[in-house]
Amino acid sequence: MLAVALIYSLNYFISKEVFLHVSAFGVLAIRGMFALSFFGIMGGFVYRQRIDWKADGLRILACAVSGIILNQIFFLSGLARTSEINAAVLMITSPIFVFLLAYLSGAEKLNWQKILGVITAFTGAVLLMTNGKNLTLGENTLVGDLLIILNAIAYSTYLILVKPLIQKYNNFVLLAVLFSISAFINIPLGIPNLLQVAWSDLSLNIYYGIIYIGICTTILAYALNAWAMRIVPASYVGIYVYLQPVLAFVLSLFLRSGVITWQKTLYIVLVFVGVGMVMLKKSFFQAK
């Protein structure tokens, strides 16, 4: 989960350069093609397993729609209609939705320690990302903000729905099926944008960035998340979203000569304390 958070944090810096040359929906198609090729080979030829479509077909379809199709489309469409800081803050609401959905579905039990941990980590992450920046929620960004929230809900729904499937099927087989379903939407949606790219004019660094997005942000991130969810509850995967702004800030110190202050250090500590409270097995609110 920590590796996934690091991958997405690096992706912030890499994608920004790629989007100057390839549109967001073009990148969506690229991610789909990378994932379909890799997981298709691994799930179709290396790790073969029969899918029980009668028992799990509807859940598999719901996972493909929520975790890949809607999750990515809502995010890309929302980001184009709102500010970067709005999107960053609203995206980290996903762990809250994960906890609520897990509790309402009976998948997990909540306690005051976990609730306080989510609030603490959320507060630290928001303060870290908005420090010195403007968060402007209003009519001009309303549609984009709502789409980002829908993205968070879609991703949270995916984490809850996919947990039983991950326990039942091989990760590569399951991801091959999910990306095969999503490919009917995501790839055709981005192909027209890819045809407009002047590929011969792109620098080598842009090609490296595209490869990173395809392999690390897509293949590795989904595979590692699935592997982690075999071991820990879905809420644990969700709470690690709060480490992304921390890691992005640390990376900015090296990549963009960022400046660290005591306030930012305090915000980072809040995130780690909140994550730690969620991860602890035994609640410190319980009597000895």
Q: Which residues contact 63 (CB under 8 A, 6 or more apart)?
A: 158, 161, 162, 165, 178
Asked, for residue 285, whether it belongs to a domain, the answer is: no
Total structural domains within the chain:
1
Cα–Cα distance, 246 to 6 (Å, whole number)? 10
If you average pLDDT over residues 15-37, what whole number do you get? 89
pLDDT tens column, 118-163: 888 888 877 766 665 655 556 666 787 788 888 888 988 998 899 8
Cα–Cα distance, 32 to 180 (Å, whole number)? 9
- Structure-model confidence comparison of residues 63 and 273, the more confident one: 63
If you average pLDDT over residues 262-282, what whole number do you get? 76
Cα–Cα distance, 199 to 197 (Å, whole number)? 6
Cα–Cα distance, 41 to 243 (Å, whole number)? 32
Asked, for residue 151, whether it belongs to a domain, the answer is: yes
Q: For residue 46, what pLDDT band results from cuts at 50, 70 and 90?
A: confident
Cα–Cα distance, 115 to 112 (Å, whole number)? 5
Q: For residue 63, what pLDDT band results from cuts at 50, 70 and 90?
A: very high
Asked, for residue 287, whether it belongs to a domain, the answer is: no
Asked, for residue 288, whether it belongs to a domain, the answer is: no
Asked, for residue 82, whether it belongs to a domain, the answer is: yes
| Nearest Cα residue to 173 out of 69, 29, 37, 41 | 41
> Is 278:110 a contact under the CB 8 Å cutoff?
no
- Residue 259 has what pLDDT? 63
Asked, for residue 84, whether it belongs to a domain, the answer is: yes
Q: For residue 288, what pLDDT band results from cuts at 50, 70 and 90?
A: very low
Per-residue tokens: 11: 């992706």
Structural domain range at position 73: 2-279
DSSP secondary structure of 189-200 = HHHHHHHTS-GG
Q: Integer distance in angstroms from the first to the last C-alpha of the chain?
A: 31
- Residue 85 has what pLDDT? 60
Q: What percent of the chain is predicted at pLDDT more than 70? A: 82
pLDDT tens column, 166-199: 999 999 999 999 999 999 999 999 999 999 999 9
Q: Where does residue 257 fall: left (phi above 0), alpha (psi -120 to 50 degrees), or beta otherwise?
A: left
The counts of H helices and E strands in the chain are: 14, 0
Cα–Cα distance, 126 to 249 (Å, whole number)? 13
Provide the residue count of the chain. 288
Cα–Cα distance, 117 to 169 (Å, whole number)? 32
DSSP secondary structure of 237-256 = HHHGGGHHHHHHHHHHHHHS
- Residue 152 has what pLDDT? 84
pTM (predicted TM-score)? 0.80
Asked, for residue 162, whether it belongs to a domain, the answer is: yes
Q: How many CB atoms lie within 10 A of CB 164?
A: 12
Q: How far is CA 260 from the centre of its chain?
A: 26
Q: Residue 283: pLDDT above 60?
A: no
| Nearest Cα residue to 17 out of 203, 250, 256, 259 | 203
Q: How far is CA 236 from the centre of its chain?
A: 13
